[in-house]
Amino acid sequence: MKCGHERMLMLSLMLPLAVLAQQSPDISVAVRDEVKLDSAMLNQDPKKTKEPPADYVQYDQPPEVIQQFQPDYPSEALSKKLEGNVWLKLWIGETGTVVEAKVQKSDAEIFNKSAIEAGMRWTFKPAVVNGKPIAVWVSVPFKFKLYEGKEAPSIGPGVKAPEMKPKIRNLREEMPPADYVPYEKPPEAIKQVPAKYPPAAKKDNVQGTVWLKTLVDEEGRVAKVEIQKSEAEVLNQAAVDAVHQWVFKPAIMKGKPIAVWVSIPFRFVLDDDKAKSPKK
């Protein structure tokens, strides 16, 4: 809108660029319509592939907004004083341009086309995995709100994509981080609980080591455990039960706690008088 108009439009772009993925089951799709636009007027990715990326694609570095565009306020919505939000699902290609935009949810269909036209013009630093750019889906909300009088404030600088769930992350339900996540300070165990020797293993003189792949979240809790290697299956559950009780100081990157995987070995050894002929 122009400054001379009595009513001014402010586009508030809250950007939980939620990388859709294992995240997609949480999405409530209220509107499924797609506005088909002329590709000549939109900034289509020249390397558009036949198939879009999966709803979730694991990455080492999330996409980052380089340039944002405000949508035009539809004249009909303006005359009727309508307001509302439109959530777009954007396919960001390997070059960082938007390949496709879909309406994920909408408060009013009248805003859909305007939101899509703006979203298609956005540019990003693409997501990266193993040092290479990859295509991913992101979710972007556009807020259409009318203001009286003076010019509305600008949308501000570009915003980096935060995590999928902005409230409370649950790494037991979310896709965990990559096997390796760079950090400046590693996690530190502040509470260690030894594993209880399984009676069946003790009875059969079974000894051995169990290596656990353990996900330590941002709060220092054990969020997920996987068996990396085991010398005796009968020992596995005792090791898992023990590590779930461990507490850590979380890993730190750029002054902030992050979730990382660590490998923890549990060694089960019987006293010499009980381990005459160990079985594995």
270-274 contact pairs (CB < 8 A, 24+): 270/197, 270/202, 270/205, 270/207, 274/202, 274/205
The confidence band for 117, taking pLDDT boundaries of 50, 70 and 90, is: very high
- Looking at per-residue pLDDT, the higher value among 279 and 220 belongs to 220
Give the whole-angstrom CA distance, residue 85 versus residue 164.
19
pLDDT at 8 over 50: no
Give the whole-angstrom CA distance, residue 112 versus residue 106.
7
**pLDDT tens digits, one per residue of 150-183:** 333 333 333 334 344 444 455 545 556 677 778 8
For the segment 23-31, the average pLDDT, to the nearest whole number, is 27
The confidence band for 109, taking pLDDT boundaries of 50, 70 and 90, is: very high
- What is the SS3 assignment for 114? helix
**pLDDT tens digits, one per residue of 49-82:** 458 888 777 888 888 888 888 888 888 888 888 8
pLDDT at 196 over 90: yes
Q: What is the DSSP letter of 279?
A: B
Give the whole-angstrom CA distance, residue 153 versus residue 11.
9
